[in-house]
Amino acid sequence: MRHCVRIKAGWRDPMTVLGGWPDTPYTLGLISGGDGRWSWLARLPDRTETLESGDGRDPFEVLAALLGESGQGGEGPFSGGVAGLASYSLASRIEPLDLGASPDWPDLVLMRFPAVLAFDHGARAVWAIGRGESAPLAREAAERAASWLGDDQAIAFEGVLAPAVTADDPLAFEAAVEDVRARIADGEIFQANIARRWTGRLNPGAGPFDLFARLVAQSPAPYAAWLRLPGRAIVSNSPEQFVAVTLDGAGRRVSTRPIKGTAPRGATLALDEVEKQKLAASAKDRAENLMIVDLMRNDLARVCAPGSVETPQLFRLETFANVHHLVSTVTGRLRADASAADLLRATFPPGSITGAPKVQAMKVISELEPPRGPFFGAIFWAGFDGAFDSSVLIRTTAFVEDPQGWRFEARAGGGITADSVPHAERLETEDKISAILSALTEPLA
């Protein structure tokens, strides 16, 4: 895919375009809410690969083979390449772990897109980008992408999406927090991220895309993602970047922005400011964040040039629709002999949703939670030009279609440390899941 053709078009809202094909399998939407500059839509991949738990192939070699040789860049960071879903269970292929297989979700789904739509929110322009082994094939792919802009948006479901949402036993979660605290006191681990589940079914006539559209409108997030697979869908309203590779004059810059530390939004401006100040001053939350920063520094060092890994930002306070977070940044320079697939192998799963030490924390999590499936894995894209980006699958709902319609599951968790208070940790999960629950259980405004 060494040739690239770009066709500029007038502005269209990406959600309006994506809403024209909510039921098309192997469709991807990456919507940058807030101050994000770029959003991307892709459909009709020319190759797909699905690796179930029993598939013996090396997933990272499969990814590298789909990408092939690097080609020229295009307009915007992502100008065609391979996008995918890495379920949490993919970690069992990296470390000697038995994390359990989800009955509904594979370890890895890969889709190679020779055509994408890139939406430049800053310039209010859309680029239809096509890739091919020849210039005519690349132009054909770009024209195909441009044609998607004329699709009509489906009619939105206006009622309540889900008649009921059932949460796991809150007292069982608090007991799990105490279990983790005991393991920390015994010296087994320093931190583990454990989660609760919410489950339910959509009302007849409602679909997963209805939830995605409501979340993007009501609580925009920088890494919102829509992934439609045959009989499956992922709706993610994630605020968290996992790992990224950007191309600049000095080579390939790697970055990760782990989130650790959460406080609810206040009901008034004054109360909101109090919550922000409490979070910024919280020794517990800063320690929780710093442990994951150290973990991510170690992970990046596996594939970055010696001495290039740095932490330019610690404990930055960022505000989202329902919560405040502490966010840190770790950067490095990818080694000349390392690829995006190598980076994913070295860092997956995200340290912010496992704990420290990472492998032992995952063992603890597997004892306390059912198999996570896609939750706390990643959605990612790997460009034909060597660029890469990924998000952590938090604030995420996973949908499975069966004869009765669409059933769903959502999870929310938190990092447990020696200073964690079980009841407070439970309330934090409820703050994190609140936007999803509101979008599911309240009619369209």
Report residue 268's pLDDT band, with 50, 70 and 90 as the boundaries.
confident
Helix H or strand E encompassing 83:
strand 81-86
Token pair 């980008």 in the structure block, residue: 129
* The pLDDT value given to residue 71: 56
Residue 235 pLDDT exceeds 90? yes
Chain mean position to CA 357 = 22
User: Is the N-terminal amide bond of 349 cis, ω within 30° of 0?
Assistant: yes
Taking a C-beta distance cutoff of 8 angstroms, is the pair 112, 66 a contact?
A: yes
CB 212 within 8 A of CB 235: yes
Q: Hey, is 82 helix, strand or coil? A: strand
**Average pLDDT in the chain:** 91
Q: What is the pLDDT of residues 81-110, one digit of tens each?
A: 999 999 999 999 999 898 888 999 999 999
pLDDT for 72: 56
- The residues spanned by each domain of the chain are 3-441
Any bridge partners for residue 29, and if so which?
A: 41, 226
Q: Is the dihedral of CA 142, 147, 148, 150 positive or negative?
A: positive
Rounded CA separation 248/73 (Å): 12
The whole-angstrom separation of Cα 259 and Cα 280 is 13
d(CA 218, CA 393): 19
Q: 3-441 is classed in which CATH architecture? A: 4-Layer Sandwich (3.60)
**Token code pair at residue 355:** 């704990």
Q: What are phi and psi of 364, to 5 degrees?
A: -65, -45
Q: pLDDT by residue (tens digit) across 130-145?
A: 998 899 999 999 999 9
**Nearest partner of 108 among 384, 348, 295, judged by Cα:** 348
Q: How far is CA 124 from the centre of its chain?
A: 25
Residue 245, exposed/middle/buried by CB under 10 A (0-12, 13-18, 19+)? buried
CA dihedral 245, 356, 288, 412 (to 10 degrees): 80
Predicted model pTM:
0.92
Count Cβ atoms within 10 A of the Cβ of residue 402 and give its class: 0-12 exposed, 13-18 middle, 19 or more buried: exposed
What tens digit of pLDDT does each residue of 250-264 get?
778 999 988 887 888
pLDDT exceeds 80 at position 362? yes
Do the beta carbons of residue 391 and residue 377 sit within 8 Å? no
- How many whole angstroms separate alpha carbon 31 and alpha carbon 40? 7
- Positions marked active-site: 240, 260
Partners of 396 in the β-ladder = 236, 411
Average pLDDT of the residues in 275-279: 87
Give residue 201's pLDDT: 98
**Distance, CA of 228 to CA of 154 (rounded, Å):** 15
DSSP state at residue 241: B
Q: Which amino acid is present at 70?
A: S
Q: What is the mean pLDDT of residues 224-243?
A: 96
Q: Which H or E run contains 99?
A: none
Q: Find out whether 223 and 238 touch, Cβ atoms under 8 Å.
A: yes
Residues 317/318/320/324 CA torsion (nearest 10 deg): -10
Angle at CA 367, nearest 5°, toward 364 and 368?
A: 90
The b-or-e profile of 144-177 (16+ CB within 10 A means b, else e) is ebbebbeeeebeebeeebbeebebbeeeebbebb
| Dist CA 159 CA 169 (whole Å) | 28
